[in-house]
Amino acid sequence: MPTVRRMLVVGLCVFTLAAACWGRYAETNDQRAYFALEGHAYRVEMKGWRFPLVHDPLSLLLARTHQESLTMELPRIEGVIDGTEIPVASDHPRYIGRVVITKRKMSVDLYYDTPGEQTRRPLPWNDEYKLVQKDAGRTP
């Protein structure tokens, strides 16, 4: 019986340690995305927490998630926007999928269009967002 008790204590300790570290290493997206009209298009900025890129085991243990953002240029701020309508830099893969915006709620379901790959790679920004208009004079 002492062996079962010891295993239970060790399991509980491992679970507690994992739960404490989860927030430190979890990749998440903010619930809000900010938009502003620039010319004839809308710039939508999404923010989230991402894993650091590490090159050694020690950095993996010491590094924390960091905040990143992605800004997309959308032709309109309401309705269904096909991924091919979203401009990307010439050295980046195009998007497939869509963005759906209804009543200031945005659903992003985009994938990288990489020829030769068997599976679609989803954007880490695929999520549901509440759209908030960004004031030109201040940052959110």
Specify the pLDDT at position 95.
94
Q: Are 47 and 35 in contact (CB under 8 A)?
A: no
Distance CA 5, CA 13 (A): 12
**pTM greater than 0.75:** no
Specify the pLDDT at position 83.
95
- Encoding tokens for residue 34? 């900010």
Q: Which residues of the chain have pLDDT under 70?
A: 1-2, 13-26, 53-63, 136-140
What does the domain layout of the chain look like in residue ranges? Answer: 27-133
Q: What is the pLDDT of residues 80-100, one digit of tens each?
A: 999 999 999 988 889 999 999
